[in-house]
Chain A
Amino acid sequence: MELDFEVVDLGPADHPEEGEQAPEFTRPLVTDEYWSDVALSELVARDDEPTVLLFHSMDGAFPATYLWKEVRSRDWHAEATVVGVSISTPYAHKQLIDERDLGEDYALYSDPGNGVAEAYGIAHDLDGMAAVSEPRPAVFVLDSERTVEYAWVAEEWPDFPDYDEIEAAL
């Protein structure tokens, strides 16, 4: 069946590619118990497992809900350090962690200024929300030195990552 709806074409993004080093940043990392500033370089070096950075819409928007439902059900935390990044505040992140039962297994970077998305070349100004910019949906799998092992950035909006493909990269 042909559905009569339109997605927004975002065009290509100039983002870190596989084999390149992902930009360093420090932002509050929110867990189920507290938040504190954590550098990405420190996070990726915590163990030998890959790190998955999931850039998503602000908490409460349906893409964020769908994404975390899927990731939670796939238990990626068993094989990787999996963290989200959105422009939502730490307080909103706490709520998302509770609602999606992310518990101790997942954490969320809070970046209200959207500077991380800008550094990654994936900032997206939201139509109809003046002065609000957030990341495009994007996924980066990094090794313990921040080298990109897998990269996917949405070129249309809305769009969702290929979960099987990411899983294969872990």
Chain B
Amino acid sequence: MSDTDIVCYRLQACPFCERVVRRLQEYGIDYESRFVEPLHSERDAVKRLTGKRTVPAIVDDTEGVTMSESANIVDYLDRTYGDADEAGGEA
């Protein structure tokens, strides 16, 4: 969808994906979920974007950012969309 800020590639019932989604929801970010193949070897849509087949992966068009690995994504979301106090506290 065109009115979303972030596209999130995810797998049903994947806890790492849920972690990212929870953060997106906390920050009130409009996101589009794209559910991919459970079979790792067939996740070509993700590989074309990030060079890897792992999920979660996000594409943030506003910031021009594409990344995978849930810990990295959560850090990125905190830095970019978290409120100033929290970001200051962690720095």
Docked Cα-Cα span, A34 to B48, in Å, equals 13
Contact status B36-A34, CB under 8 Å: yes
A38 surroundings in chain B (CB, below 8 A): 1
A33 surroundings in chain B (CB, below 8 A): 36-37, 44-45
A-B contacts, CB under 8 A, total: 28
Contact status A35-B34, CB under 8 Å: yes
Summarize A's interface: helix, strand, loop or mixed.
Answer: strand
Contact status B35-A35, CB under 8 Å: yes
A37 to chain B, nearest CB (A): 7
Docked Cα-Cα span, A44 to B30, in Å, equals 22
B34 surroundings in chain A (CB, below 8 A): 34-36
Closest B-chain residue to A94, C-beta based?
Answer: B37
Contact status B44-A36, CB under 8 Å: no
Chain B positions 35-49 with a Cβ under 8 Å from a chain A Cβ: 35-38, 44-45
Closest B-chain residue to A98, C-beta based?
Answer: B42
A33 to chain B, nearest CB (A): 4
**What are 28 A-B pairs at a CB distance below 8 A?**
A28-B35, A33-B36, A33-B37, A33-B44, A33-B45, A34-B9, A34-B34, A34-B35, A34-B36, A34-B37, A34-B45, A35-B34, A35-B35, A36-B1, A36-B32, A36-B33, A36-B34, A36-B35, A37-B1, A37-B32, A37-B33, A38-B1, A39-B1, A42-B1, A42-B2, A90-B35, A91-B38, A94-B37
